[in-house]
A and B are shown apart, each in its own frame.
Chain A
Amino acid sequence: MRLESRFRWLPTPFRSLLLFVVWLLLNNSVSPGHLVLATLFAFFIPIITFPFREPQPLIIKPGLAIKQLLLVLYDIVTANMQVALLILGPVKNLRPAFVKVPLDLSHEMPITILASTVSLTPGTVSAEVYPIPESLPEGEEPTQRYLLIHVLDLADEQELINTIKMRYEAPLKEIFQC
């Protein structure tokens, strides 16, 4: 896991790129004036706001991140169809359950991304990360974290846990190298 960028003048490269793209999209144009303005914003806003924020792990493998994004987008489409079918089918056949998934990730940012991915993909909504930080003694790091998820239709608990760990968590670990 790397928290600091290699370039001092570009503390958060990904956020800079995001600012650049969002500015151009908001203005719906790629005219030279907007390109210059977007570049200025992409440089200076992260430099000004960087000291206010807690450092987050940087994306180390951007190629893998894009691949994972496409996979998740594909999963969102299939998830929607599955949930639509489940909703239209008879309700009494559903087997709702709460499942605890042990996490290998340790930093907040990757955990947030994993939880959001789980919420958007087949039949699962993430509910909570255990242990809750407030319940721990001051300054102590939990040894093992769990993600509590609610499943709409649970077939096999272990299989679901394995899918989440293999399909979503392992690539995140590699992208952030943590």
Chain B
Amino acid sequence: MYSEWIVSILLLIGGAFILIGSIGLIKMPDFFMRLHGPTKATTLGMAGVLIAAMVFFSSTQDGVSVKELLITIFLLITAPISGYMLIKSAIHHKLKAKDGTKGLDNVEDD
């Protein structure tokens, strides 16, 4: 059962990346830095889990399962948009950035 090995390894990798993304949420000092975890580390985590699902259903059922590809595509499209909306509203509310953040004068008021 090679596929079981592949599935479990992929699930572990995916889970690890999602966990790291969540650790980033707690650990980072300000809102803007916290945003980096969910927009990136979790994308690869989700990809790992979805590929695992693809391998699992392709090996246990007839035919190839490709629906998971769609989820991946939608995720890749929506992750930057939600990140953009969050950071835009943060700027609008003038949230404090961590001391020592460079280039704060690049941020214009709206």
Select one of A79, A127, A132, A135 contacting B40, CB under 8 A.
A79
User: Are the CB atoms of A87 and B24 closer together than 8 Å?
Assistant: yes
| With A115-B84, A120-B76, A126-B80 already in contact, 16 other A-B pairs whose C-beta atoms are closer than 8 Å | A25-B69, A26-B70, A28-B63, A84-B21, A86-B36, A87-B24, A91-B29, A96-B100, A116-B80, A117-B80, A120-B40, A125-B35, A127-B87, A150-B87, A152-B33, A157-B102
Q: 1/0 contact trace for B88-110 toward A, CB 8 Å?
A: 10010000011011111011101
Compute how far the CA of A150 lies from the CA of B28 in the bound complex, rounded to whole angstroms. 14
Residues of chain A contacted by B107 (CB below 8 angstroms): 98, 127-128, 148
Q: Using known A-B contacts A77-B44, A87-B20, A98-B101, determine if residue A26 contacts B106 with beta carbons closer than 8 Å.
A: no
User: Are the CB atoms of B103 and A83 closer together than 8 Å?
Assistant: no
Q: How far is the CB of A113 from chain B (nearest CB, A)?
A: 10
Compute how far the CA of A145 lies from the CA of B106 in the bound complex, rounded to whole angstroms. 13
Interface residues on B, range: 35 or more
Select one of B29, B43, B77, B98 contacting A76, CB under 8 A.
B43
Compute how far the CA of A84 lies from the CA of B79 in the bound complex, rounded to whole angstroms. 17
User: Are the CB atoms of B66 and A99 closer together than 8 Å?
Assistant: no
Q: 1/0 contact trace for A41-61 toward B, CB 8 Å?
A: 000000000000000000000
Compute how far the CA of A132 lies from the CA of B36 in the bound complex, rounded to whole angstroms. 24
Q: How many residues of chain A have a CB within 8 Å of chain B? A: 40
Residues of chain A at the chain B interface (Cβ within 8 Å): 22, 25-26, 28, 76-77, 79-81, 83-84, 86-88, 91, 94-100, 115-117, 119-120, 123, 125-128, 130, 132, 135, 148, 150, 152, 154, 157
Compute how far the CA of A20 lies from the CA of B33 in the bound complex, rounded to whole angstroms. 39
Select one of A87, A91, A96, A132 contacting B37, CB under 8 A.
A87
The 3 closest A-B pairs by CB, nearest first: A119-B80, A80-B44, A97-B102
Q: List 19 A-B contacts (CB under 8 A).
A: A28-B67, A80-B45, A83-B40, A84-B20, A87-B24, A95-B102, A98-B97, A116-B77, A120-B40, A120-B76, A125-B87, A126-B80, A127-B88, A127-B107, A130-B108, A148-B106, A150-B35, A152-B33, A152-B36
